Structure 1
Amino acid sequence: MTSGFTTSKGWLLAILISLSPALMAGEVSVAVAANFTDTTRTLASHFEQETGHTVSASFGSTGKLYAQIKNGAPFDVFMAADIRRPERIEQEGDGVASSRFTYARGKLALWSPKPEAFDSAPHYLTEQTFARLAIANPKTAPYGLAAQQALEQMNLWSSLQPKLVRGDSIAQTFQFVASGNAQAGFVALSQVKAWPEEKGTLWPVPQNYYQPIDQQAILLNRASNNDAAKAWLAFLKSPSALSIIQDYGYDTVE
């Protein structure tokens, strides 16, 4: 009898141990800059397999996500495409102090889905043989601001105004180009890398043409006791996550 009881206790303990990850699993709600959409989906899949936690991600322009957070949107983590908004979140008391860090450095590219659309990107932009050139809104999207800075560096910002179409986010900007509504556009290099079709014509914009696109994440106050949110931020710093981020065309910053 004693042996059977001991065996039963052993099975019960084994069952509890096997269930413990599921019992402890939580959910993290993440507000993510649109350029990081494909990368986030891949990262989330690996994170969920490794931890048992669930990731719920909402994508949009950094400026609009910031406004949503300030208006009480129930996010746990803010992953912006710049430093300025997470810094403001921290300074304004909406983010956990010292949780802010750079998770990726983005790269800007001029892209057209048409093969051999241009040989020299500066010449193409100067000649303006296209009907429309897409950029993200510089006021809300850091990649749009970077595009403006690049065009200013080339002394083309003013002359191109009549042909510019502005997307609310870099995701919408990419769709303008991919759908043919704009013949070319300034997009995130990571978006082109994730594009499943032929890559068309690509010009990685020299990084000294625009300020570094350092993308920062911060834990929001409502999630200060959310273990899943803390685990997500720790995961973003892990070697496996950094490798995925680099594969999508970003630099990582120590």
Structure 2
Amino acid sequence: MRALFLALWILLFWTLPSKSEELFVSSAMGTKELVTAIGKDFEKEKGHLVIFNFASSGKLAGQIERGADVDVYISASRFWANYLKEKGLLESVSPFAKTELVVVTYRSSKITSLQEAERIALGDRLAPVGKYAIQALQKLGLYDKLRDRLVYAPNVRQITIWVTTKNADAGIIYYSDYLKFKDRLKLLEVLPETSHDPIRFYVGIVSSSKKKEVAGEFKEFLLSAPSSTYKSFGFSKCGERN
């Protein structure tokens, strides 16, 4: 009987779930709904707690450079992912999602084009959405004409807020962000993909992470999430059509 009890105890011990971890993920603001949804599924399936910090890619990169406790970094820009990688602060970097750049105005607005807007919201120099927007305006020959009407926001979410609250007449944001607020925004135009660098989102493991095994599990979970999940938030998986 004692031997049977011991055998059962050993079996129970080995089948108990492994110790749960707290995983710290710094993620570009534009991915908030997508990665939060995938993070919840990861928590349910793997038993680990995912704690997100959302801001512009550049701001998050600066935090990591200054030694912030982060396990996974998600960037809306290859530049910031490469910046950290070249400094030895990021590893195992992979593109995972893509979206489009769009011009929006508030729902009741009467304007029909960006040129009619008096106040146009863009991302600032740390926000990839701003870099893409400036590239597009320059490529389309509009930047010099509109320069005096531009106002700059720290991230794509702030642009959206300014437009929905009528503090800006128009804004240039990701299609995925338009989709979140389509009941309060009007889509004026999808900017040509040829007018700016490809919009790709990247995920990498922070080199100083003490939870690299769990960080790797999260990264693979993100990469293997269903295409339908991505599409429901206005994204496509890299390698697939929009």
TM-score, normalization: structure 1?
Answer: 0.85
AA in 2 matched with 1:19: L
Structure 2's unaligned 5+ residue stretches are none
Matched, 1:56 2:42: no
Residues 234 and 115 of structure 1: is their aligned pair in 2 closer, same or farther, counting only changes over 3 Å? Answer: same
- Greater percentage in strand: 2
- 1:195 maps to 181
Give the SS at the match of 1:32: strand
- 1:184 maps to 170
Q: 1:41-190 residue pairs with structure 2 within 5 A? A: 41-96=36-91, 99-115=92-108, 117-119=110-112, 124-126=113-115, 128=116, 130-137=117-124, 139-190=125-176
| Residue 188 of structure 1, CA deviation | 1.1
Whole-Å separation in 2 of the counterparts to 1:18 and 1:196: 47
Whole-Å separation in 1 of the counterparts to 2:212 and 2:106: 42
Structure 1's unaligned 5+ residue stretches are none
Identity %: 24
Residues 10 and 195 of structure 1: is their aligned pair in 2 closer, same or farther, counting only changes over 3 Å? Answer: farther
Whole-Å separation in 2 of the counterparts to 1:141 and 1:10: 58
Give the SS at the match of 1:197: coil
AA in 2 matched with 1:248: F
| Residue 224 of structure 1, CA deviation | 5.7
AA in 1 matched with 2:114: L
AA in 1 matched with 2:35: T
Matched, 1:214 2:219: no
Q: Provide, for residues 189-230 of structure 1, a one-character-per-residue CA deviation record: whole Å limited to 9, x for no partner.
A: 111212273553342222112110122111111126432211
Whole-Å separation in 1 of the counterparts to 2:146 and 2:22: 45
Give the SS at the match of 2:16: helix
Residues 39 and 239 of structure 1: is their aligned pair in 2 closer, same or farther, counting only changes over 3 Å? Answer: closer
Report if the CA contact (8 A) 1:133-1:183 is conserved: yes
Give the SS at the match of 1:223: coil
Q: Provide, for residues 35-77 of structure 1, a one-character-per-residue CA deviation record: whole Å limited to 9, x for no partner.
A: 1111111111111111111111111111111111111111111
Whole-Å separation in 1 of the counterparts to 2:188 and 2:214: 38
* Residue number among 35, 40, 43 corresponding to 1:40 in the alignment: 35
Residues 11 and 192 of structure 1: is their aligned pair in 2 closer, same or farther, counting only changes over 3 Å? Answer: farther
TM-score, normalization: structure 2?
Answer: 0.89
Whole-Å separation in 1 of the counterparts to 2:143 and 2:3: 80
Report if the CA contact (8 A) 1:100-1:218 is conserved: yes
Matched, 1:20 2:7: no
Say how many residue pairs are matched. Answer: 239
Report if the CA contact (8 A) 1:27-1:228 is conserved: no
Residues 180 and 199 of structure 1: is their aligned pair in 2 closer, same or farther, counting only changes over 3 Å? Answer: closer
Which of 1 and 2 has greater Rg?
1
